[in-house]
Amino acid sequence: MPTQTITQRLDSGDLLLMDGGTGSELQRRGVDVLQGATAQRLGAWSGPANIDAPDVVAEVHRDYLEARADIIISNSFWTNRHRLAPIGLGNNWERYARAAARIAVETRNDTNLEAFVAGGIAAPCVEVALPRAGQNPSSDVESLGATSVRKMFSEVASVLADEGADFILPEYIGHIEDAVAAVEGASEAGLPVLLGMRHVTTNGNLQYGESFEELGAALSGLGVAGVMLMCSQPEEVSGSLPNLRNAFDGPIGAYSQIGYRPIAPLGGEESKNPLPPGENSPVRLAEFASDWLAMGAQIVGGCCATTPAHIKAMSKLLD
């Protein structure tokens, strides 16, 4: 395990590099991450790969570490009972969550003992098909109740902590009330908690029009170790990061997607390559990351469709 905690590194002003996309990278390497998916909705996503293809999961983690990532996120995005239930694995969620953390920790220990393992836990998104800016579905707290949302984050965080994660990362959060419930639940594991907010806008707001000032006020007193913007286009991160900096006094960061196109059936596309042919090359994404560091980010990395090559390009910024 690292000689310093994530909070010690951040409090010292260190700049840290996070890994890139995991689910999209697994799909790029031939793993089925769309079990239970429809044309409108992701299914269980990448969690089943922890049992079905553990060697590939480890390979993805290792490639990011060798690209000089300081942080890898365990492949536990939706290893919870809500997201695994539709494919008949809801009662086995703990097995998949434990495997996710174990693979990440073992790979870290074999590759770079000073790197951190973030225990990633995404919002269950029970009412959301393909959430994007402009949509305003019910939050998980509205759909499941705050107690159930806190319980989900608490029970998964406890498993990830037990397997050796260094901090907990509730991520892919859209609504502020979901963020509060996620942080409260994740904190019960006793590890530092960083938060990842999804699909921010170029206008500088959260996904559903809530402001960063409202987010900062809601998180006050919860002991959040850092807040990051994630699963947003680079331009959206650049439009929102200054508002996050103004609203939140602690460490901030960003890990951007670059336009993921899942292989069918999601969206009805017949693409055989989940990575977009667009302009967000490793060099260009590193240019955005340079801007984010100038805006005050201490953690930069990638999300959907980013690869070890993107993270390697960013690593040069931290030399």
Q: Hey, what amino acid is at 299?
A: I
pLDDT band, residue 133 (cuts 50/70/90): very low
Token pair 């590890």 is at which residue? 191
**Element at 95 (helix H, strand E):** helix 93-111
- Residue 242 CA to residue 152 CA, distance in Å, equals 31
pTM of the model: 0.94
Question: 258-289, pLDDT tens digit by residue?
Answer: 977 665 444 545 445 555 556 679 999 999 99
Q: Which residue has the higher pLDDT, 319 or 2?
A: 2
Give the dihedral sign, CA 29/30/33/39: positive
Q: Mind giving me the DSSP string for 191-258?
A: S-BEEEEES--TTS--TTS--HHHHHHHHTTS---EEEEESS-HHHHHHHHHHHHHH--S-EEEEE--
pLDDT of residue 194: 99
- Residue 44 CA to residue 80 CA, distance in Å, equals 9
Domain 6-318 has CATH 3.20.20.330: yes
Residue 95 has pLDDT above 70, yes or no: yes
**Element at 300 (helix H, strand E):** strand 297-302
pLDDT of residue 28: 87
Question: 134-188, pLDDT tens digit by residue?
Answer: 456 789 999 999 999 999 999 999 999 999 999 999 999 999 999 999 999 999 9
Among 33-42, 114-123, 141-150, which is the least confidently predicted range? Answer: 33-42
Compute the CA torsion angle 70, 76, 78, 79 (nearest 10 deg).
-170
Mean pLDDT rounded to a whole number for the chain: 92
Phi and psi at residue 252, to the nearest 5°? -130, 165
Identify whether the C-beta of residue 73 lies closer than 8 Å to the C-beta of residue 81. Answer: no
pLDDT band, residue 63 (cuts 50/70/90): very high
Distances, alpha carbon 309 to alpha carbons 302, 314, 316, in Å: 11, 9, 12
